[in-house]
Amino acid sequence: MFDFSWNMLTYFPPGISTYSEAHDDLFRLVYWISAAIFLLVQLTLVVFIFRYRARPGHKSIYYHGNNVVEFVWTLAPTVLFAGLGLYSDEMWKVMKYSSRIPTPDMEIDVVGQAFNWHVRYPGGDGILGKRHARYRSAQNLFGIDPTDSHGKDDIVMTGEFNLPINKNVVVHLSSVDVLHSYFLPNFRIKQDAVPGSWIEVWHNGTKSGKYELACAELCGSGHYAMRAVLNMQSDADFAKWMEGKITAKKAVLAAEAANPQPVAPAPAEAAAPAGEHHGSSH
**Which residues share a beta bridge with 175?**
112, 195
Closer residue to Cu ion (CB): 110 or 266: 110
Q: Is 173 in the site for Cu ion (CB under 5 A)?
A: no
Of 232, 173, 218, 162, which Cα lies nearest the Cα of 20? Answer: 232
Window 179-198: contact mask with Cu ion (x via CB under 5 A) = -x------------------
CB of 5 within 8 A of CB of 24? no
CB of 159 within 8 A of CB of 116? yes
CA dihedral 53, 58, 64, 66 (to 10 degrees): -70
Closer residue to Cu ion (CB): 173 or 226: 226
Q: How far is CA 68 from CA 72, 73, 264, in A?
A: 6, 9, 74
CB of 142 within 8 A of CB of 156? yes
Output the smallest distance, CB 187 to Cu ion, in A.
18
Output the smallest distance, CB 110 to Cu ion, in A.
12
Pick the binder of Cu ion from 16, 141, 173, 219 (CB under 5 A): 219
Q: Whole-angstrom Cα distance, residue 236 to residue 253?
A: 26
Closer residue to Cu ion (CB): 219 or 230: 219
Window 129-168: contact mask with Cu ion (x via CB under 5 A) = ----------------------------------------
Query: Kindly report the CA angle at 119 between 191 and 229, in degrees rounded to 5?
Result: 80
Q: Which DSSP state fits 104? A: P
Output the smallest distance, CB 141 to Cu ion, in A.
14
Closer residue to Cu ion (CB): 144 or 226: 226
Q: Identify the three-state secondary structure at position 248.
A: helix
Closer residue to Cu ion (CB): 189 or 252: 189
Pick the binder of Cu ion from 95, 215, 228, 232 (CB under 5 A): 215
Closer residue to Cu ion (CB): 144 or 215: 215
For β-strands 106-113 and 169-175, DSSP reports them as parallel
Output the smallest distance, CB 225 to Cu ion, in A.
10
Q: Is 226 in the site for Cu ion (CB under 5 A)?
A: yes
Would you tell me which residues interact with Cu ion (CB under 5 A)?
A: 180, 215, 219, 226
